[in-house]
Structure 1
């Protein structure tokens, strides 16, 4: 936010404080990530140009290199932002008192919220681009959701005891694939899958705990 010069008494600044260097850098970083998400969703990673990303963010290409160092690092920042936002939806599920069924239901709710958000189509387009990149870059794959979900499941109560690490590692990728597929269905065919369908589908995965 730019400082505004006041019109009275010796040119005092009116009401708006000048950002510190770190605040300005963070604002620019956020703007570039927002712009990159749009450009990469519309054009694909390979065709998205840093000049266009910088222009959309109302910054220079030099700012991209100053903050991120490379186009790939900017991509990783976009992926991290995407994962962090989902983590925000899942944060309250870290309560250790919740059962496995409650956590699965909460995960379904979080993914349904993503599917019905105003920017769901753009994010879906970015996810399609991301799928190809994950085949070529293990770092991108490491930032995705499955490992984060597994951490939520360990020790959760269910009818046969508590979820082990091994069981959590089995359930997490299945849940990520299932709910990710339902998000795609909800985006491409709105109204065909509702919140209750998300929940029932997630709860059905408890069958993977049987030994």
Structure 2
């Protein structure tokens, strides 16, 4: 008889819990599912379930995250902005339940988070990750079209349309035709939204503090956009953003100099629930982008999920949590600029390579 190691036994227990949970959620939905029944299905104790997942919500999110998988590539659109939007909408809409699917199965299929978070941190995180999704789609649209216009407002409008269709799939299954929704998204390309980048608070952000601190790159983490290593040893800007400050990613992107490498490390004080929700949403949007756009049009920034605060610690950010915003610029193996607080990502991205030390720190 082969004796399993403790790690192997834990992995087997975890897999059994996830399989049982998927069955329970598919049959009864999130609200009516019971942890005791999940434990019974897995032939485990209630304590064994909670030793792997701290709450039913964390377990549900783990089931959803496990359903994303690796997307297959599709033909990239060749007809400009309208075709890109139509292709993106079609891929996004594939997750919606089929007519006749039971409600619980449909919500698992669509990876719906409707009604899952009724607390302020959860709602804030979902609002902020939606802003990040719009940035990622907007950057892909900007790269895929010859014009130099900002496309984030257009991306926001497309995601509003698609999320509305997703909500109706939850509340009124069978209402509307996904092909019509995709067609409508395609025609949104013709709108003139006069999109510019000029947030009102930017003139009040102080400069980054120029330093000469040692940079010890953390253990490698995968870039959520490309699937490859993020490459923390390279020069560039690293922004550590909590789940409540994800919108600051655009501040770093817009302030960056041509050729700057921007890395966004996402942190949270609640990796079991908020962290999994962010992983799910980011995995869905990046999966769609990889299927629709060629690699040359993928957003140029690196995006990592810093669940264990490895990047935050290397950047000197203590107690990284949902409200965190901090950034450093790395050059030639040293941190040459740093800032913390609101506006930190912008301040560091805008910082030059001068060695003249300036006082002040963003967010003060």
TM-score, with normalisation over the residues of structure 1?
0.59
Are the equivalent residues in 1 in contact too, given 2:17–2:39 (CA < 8 A)?
yes
Match of 2:150 in 1: 164
Corresponding position: 1:154 with 2:136: no
Match of 1:62 in 2: 47
Where 1:69 maps in the other structure, the secondary structure is coil
In 1, distance between residues paired with 2:126 and 2:13? Answer: 22
In 1, distance between residues paired with 2:19 and 2:191? Answer: 38
In 1, distance between residues paired with 2:19 and 2:94? Answer: 22
Shift of the alpha carbon at 1:200?
Answer: 0.5
Corresponding position: 1:32 with 2:17: yes
Q: What is the CA deviation profile of residues 18-52 of structure 1, one whole-angstrom value per residue up to 9, with x for unaligned ones?
A: 76654553443344334334434544545422110
Shift of the alpha carbon at 1:55?
Answer: 1.9
Shift of the alpha carbon at 1:61?
Answer: 1.7
TM-score, with normalisation over the residues of structure 2?
0.39
Describe the shift of the 1:31–1:160 C-alpha distance in structure 2 as closer, same or farther (beyond 3 A).
same
Where 2:44 maps in the other structure, the secondary structure is coil
In 2, distance between residues paired with 1:202 and 1:155? Answer: 16
Q: What is the CA deviation profile of residues 171-194 of structure 1, one whole-angstrom value per residue up to 9, with x for unaligned ones?
A: 354143244146458x8339x625
Match of 1:202 in 2: 185
Q: Number of paired residues?
A: 188
Match of 1:8 in 2: none
- Where is the strand percentage greater, Structure 1 or Structure 2? 2
Shift of the alpha carbon at 1:80?
Answer: 3.6
In 1, distance between residues paired with 2:85 and 2:13? Answer: 36
Q: What are the ranges of 5 or more consecutive residues in structure 2 without an aligned counterpart?
A: 195-364
Alignment of 1:13-162 (within 5 A): 21-40=6-25, 42-81=27-66, 85=68, 88-89=70-71, 92=73, 100=81, 101-116=83-98, 121-125=103-107, 130-136=113-119, 138-139=121-122, 142=125, 146-147=130-131, 149-150=133-134, 151-157=136-142, 161-162=147-148
Q: What are the ranges of 5 or more consecutive residues in structure 1 without an aligned counterpart?
A: 6-12
**Cα root mean square deviation, aligned:** 4.5
Match of 2:255 in 1: none
Shift of the alpha carbon at 1:78?
Answer: 3.4
Are the equivalent residues in 2 in contact too, given 1:133–1:140 (CA < 8 A)?
no
Where 2:116 maps in the other structure, the secondary structure is helix
In 2, distance between residues paired with 1:59 and 1:137? Answer: 33
- Where is the helix percentage greater, Structure 1 or Structure 2? 1
Describe the shift of the 1:56–1:112 C-alpha distance in structure 2 as closer, same or farther (beyond 3 A).
same
Shift of the alpha carbon at 1:156?
Answer: 1.5
Describe the shift of the 1:181–1:197 C-alpha distance in structure 2 as closer, same or farther (beyond 3 A).
farther
Q: Does 20-29 or 51-60 show the bigger shift?
A: 20-29
Shift of the alpha carbon at 1:170?
Answer: 2.3
Describe the shift of the 1:23–1:154 C-alpha distance in structure 2 as closer, same or farther (beyond 3 A).
farther
